Structure 1
Amino acid sequence: MARLDTDLIIAGGGLAGATLALALSRMVPSLRVTVVEAFPLSLDALPESYQPSYDARSTALAWGSRLIFEELGLWSRLSAHATPIEHIHVSDRGRFGATRLHAAEHDQAALGYVADNRWMGLCLMRELLDTRVRWEAPAEVVGMMPLPEGVRVSVKSGEHTRELTAQCLVVADGGRSGLREELGFRTRVHDYGQNALIANVSTTESHGFTAFERFTDAGPMALLPHGSPSRAAHQSALVWTLTDDALEDILSLSDEDKCRRLQERFGWRLGRFTRIGTCNHYPLKLTTVDEPVMPGVALVGNAAHALHPVAGQGFNLALRGLMTLVEQFRLAEAQGASIGDLAVLKRYQALHQQDWQQTVRFSDSLIRLFGESLPPLAAARDAGLVGLDLLPGAKRWFARKAMGIGGRRAVIDHPAPANRESAKNE
């Protein structure tokens, strides 16, 4: 049998693809990994110091995700610009029901963290520079053909296309590239009929390291603490759910009027809104793939499932799935099996399926439940929120979901690298 060009090709070098590459370099160093990324990579893009931008896009990291990054030896670098979430406040606008979660009640330093996407990408690239991971960039995967020993992948760079052979292809380029459909995966899509407006905002009161989940008759919104990791600042990351008409209306307003409209929807828990940064937006859809594997190919991250962002579960679910896949690759390599064997990929699917089904149901049910305005349902929501706040067992379950530790163990059952730091040493 002819020698393959590489063992694994990862289509997409964003947060999911780069994290998978780093995890494999740590946990399965014998595998040859090639990442195909559409954006050019340069050492010039990795500055020695990082200056956060006010308009930086960010991601909510659950406590379970911190444990994974610790396992990969990345947290000591990443935590320099990760704002802790010490409290979560969930409420239904205009009604009395509310639930409050506090990290101290669970003997944790934080319930989660908020980190800029660009900062996470820079941290991953810095770590990957010291690995044997190979990069093809700028380039993109445009096709795949199964082989008896694996797959033949078509990689396009500029006007030129060449073929690379590997045991397996992992699609980690999100849900919008079209590669997933090109390879024959079938998706199920539920359109919420809403849009997410993303922006950073400033308020007269500090956030106190509190994340707010606010459900309103016009749709849910979230405000996540952003900025300094050590000082409770006045900046928060906003996720605002809007209908098409409402989005068009908001985007037409001046920044001052945007703040005024936001004030009307959120209230005064953070004082007055004084600034809103650049507004990005995208349509909200629940996208799932019932069969995310086929011989020689696996989907991960948003290519496998895309959730409503207000519950902050998407990337954390993806991260747990990546570690499940890494563990199956490690076992296959130890047993002398091909990582692209359907049996190997099916085990990954089976182990991750319960987690993603539960997380999808949890996230989707919040949106559907709080999207109903009928008085009996509104009263039931209030009772439920109060019950969560008063019943220790229910509150603990809700907290574990929010912290990303409610399902399978987040960290690979594998010896930790020597530079892993312990959360207890903080």
Structure 2
Amino acid sequence: MTHSDTDVIIAGGGLAGATLALALARVAPALRVTVVEAFPLSADALPESYQPSYDARSTALAWGSRLVFEELGLWSRLSEHATPIRHIHVSDRGRFGATRLAASEYGQEALGYVVDNRWMGLCLMRELLDTGTQWHAPAEVTGMEPCQHGVSVAVRTGDDTRTITGQCLIVADGGRSGLREKLGFQPRHHGYEQNALIANVSTSDSHQFTAFERFTDTGPMALLPHGSPSRAGRQSALVWTLSDKELGEVLEMSDGDKCQRLQERFGWRLGRFTRIGECNHYPLKLTTVDEPVRPGVALVGNAAHALHPVAGQGFNLALRGLMTLAEQFRLAAEQGLSPGDFHILRRYHELHSPDWKQTVQFSDSLIRIFGKSPAPVAVARDAGLVGLDLLPGAKRLFARKAMGTGGRRAVINGPAASGKI
């Protein structure tokens, strides 16, 4: 592995790419890692302190993801602005069925956490400053070709393009850059004919660290506790599913009318909606790639799979995959093998595939079951929510999915393990 410029090239320095870079620095420090990121990055630009913004976009981290970040040495810093989810309330609008989960039932302090994306990125950058990770930013990967000692990757910076040779290219720049398709991967898309509207909202009542999953006749919505990690406040992160027509109507409304429409759809479990922040939106679709690995290249994160956000599984699934990949790279380094060896990448895919298939099925089934459906189906799913709340075994399985403790995760300097409750 000494005939190339670097060992692992990561295209994309966002949450997935930066997490993989940190995992490799912890798990396989002998590997040379180079990250190519489109946005400018500078150690001097990192702020000394972090002041959360009301309009900050956030990510729901499952309990299993906390365990991963603890292993990476990141959690003590990340937890400074991580709002705990201590309760989950799942309900079907206009019907009596509901399911409730509480962290205390499983002897844990939280079922998960809500963290601002920018804060997570800053924490990752600060940790990476102390590693040997190399960065090319602002720059982007525009192509890749096999070469004698691995892969030859074209990196464009402004008007200039240079070539970097490595053992393996990891595509971690999401599903919108087009690099995945340039390299010949064929994603499959299933549109839900819906859109996700993302915003932060305030309510007259405290969230009491409760996450709400609310299924309505027009689509699901989620409200996640946001703000202070120690004091139950009145701010929540909203994921609101809307049709094209409904989205257009809502975007044209005043903030007061948006709150009123949201009140009609969600109800009064958090009191009155008093404020809604900046609204972002995007069309919803399930994207999967059946074979996300080839000799010398692998897709991770949203480049490999993108899920409906209402179940909060996307980044947590990606994180488990990243740790599985890092584990395989560690084993390859110990055996003197190239991380781009197809046997190494195929083994990673074999290990991660059951997790992503089950998670995709879980997320997709929620949308199909709780989407628009005839009255008999609605009655049946309502009874199912009641049964889920009453049957300990079924509820425990649901809790394992919610907490992200059912998939594999790597243990630094040790064998793989599965979290259990």
Normalising by the smaller structure, the TM-score range is over 0.9
| Native 8 Å contact 2:142 2:154 kept in 1 | yes
Amino acid at match of 1:204: S
C-alpha displacement of 1:379: 1.0
Q: Deviations over 1:181-206 (max 9, x none)?
A: 00000111001010000000000000
C-alpha displacement of 1:2: 7.2
Q: Deviations over 1:69-123 (max 9, x none)?
A: 0000000000000000000000000001100000000001100000000000000
C-alpha distance in 2, partners of 1:412/1:189?
33
C-alpha distance in 1, partners of 2:98/2:116?
28
C-alpha distance in 1, partners of 2:139/2:127?
21
Q: Deviations over 1:303-334 (max 9, x none)?
A: 00000000000000000000000000000111
C-alpha displacement of 1:44: 3.6
Deviates more, 1:398-407 or 1:78-87: 398-407
Deviates more, 1:394-403 or 1:364-373: 364-373
Counterpart in the other structure of 1:421: none
C-alpha distance in 1, partners of 2:126/2:336?
31
| Native 8 Å contact 2:218 2:372 kept in 1 | no
C-alpha displacement of 1:413: 5.5
| Native 8 Å contact 2:327 2:410 kept in 1 | no
C-alpha distance in 2, partners of 1:294/1:79?
37
| Native 8 Å contact 1:208 1:233 kept in 2 | yes
| Native 8 Å contact 2:3 2:149 kept in 1 | no
Q: Deviations over 1:278-322 (max 9, x none)?
A: 000000010000000011000000000000000000000000000
Counterpart in the other structure of 1:356: 356
Tell me the SS of whatever aligns to 2:9.
Answer: strand
C-alpha displacement of 1:149: 1.9
C-alpha displacement of 1:407: 2.4
Counterpart in the other structure of 1:414: 413
User: Which of structure 1's runs of 4+ aligned residues deviate more than 3 A?
Assistant: none
Alignment of 1:366-405 (within 5 A): 366-405=366-405
Counterpart in the other structure of 1:138: 138
Counterpart in the other structure of 2:326: 326
Alignment of 1:270-285 (within 5 A): 270-285=270-285
| Native 8 Å contact 2:43 2:129 kept in 1 | no
Alignment of 1:276-295 (within 5 A): 276-295=276-295
C-alpha distance in 2, partners of 1:74/1:267?
37
Q: Deviations over 1:12-61 (max 9, x none)?
A: 00000000000000110000000000000122431111000000000000
Amino acid at match of 1:5: D
C-alpha distance in 1, partners of 2:169/2:43?
26
- Inter-CA distance 379–133: structure 2 relative to 1 (3 Å threshold): same
Amino acid at match of 2:411: I
Tell me the SS of whatever aligns to 2:130.
Answer: coil
Counterpart in the other structure of 2:419: none
| Native 8 Å contact 2:297 2:340 kept in 1 | yes
Q: Deviations over 1:188-225 (max 9, x none)?
A: 10010100000000000000000000000010000000
Q: Does 1:194 align with 2:186?
A: no
Tell me the SS of whatever aligns to 2:247.
Answer: helix
C-alpha distance in 2, partners of 1:128/1:14?
13
Structure 2: state its 5+ residue gaps: 416-421
Alignment of 1:280-319 (within 5 A): 280-319=280-319
C-alpha displacement of 1:412: 2.1
Tell me the SS of whatever aligns to 2:339.
Answer: coil
C-alpha distance in 2, partners of 1:246/1:84?
31
Amino acid at match of 2:50: Y
| Native 8 Å contact 1:324 1:412 kept in 2 | no
Counterpart in the other structure of 2:255: 255
Amino acid at match of 2:203: T
Alignment of 1:178-217 (within 5 A): 178-217=178-217
Alignment of 1:1-400 (within 5 A): 3-400=3-400
| Native 8 Å contact 2:36 2:137 kept in 1 | yes
| Native 8 Å contact 2:221 2:239 kept in 1 | yes
C-alpha displacement of 1:126: 0.4
Length-normalised TM-score, structure 2: 0.97
Tell me the SS of whatever aligns to 1:13.
Answer: coil
Tell me the SS of whatever aligns to 2:177.
Answer: coil
Tell me the SS of whatever aligns to 1:186.
Answer: coil
Q: Deviations over 1:126-159 (max 9, x none)?
A: 0001000000000000000012321000000000
C-alpha displacement of 1:414: 2.4
C-alpha displacement of 1:383: 1.1
Structure 1: state its 5+ residue gaps: 417-426
C-alpha displacement of 1:276: 0.1
C-alpha distance in 2, partners of 1:336/1:96?
59
Amino acid at match of 2:161: T
| Native 8 Å contact 1:67 1:411 kept in 2 | no
| Native 8 Å contact 1:22 1:128 kept in 2 | yes
Corresponding pairs, count: 415
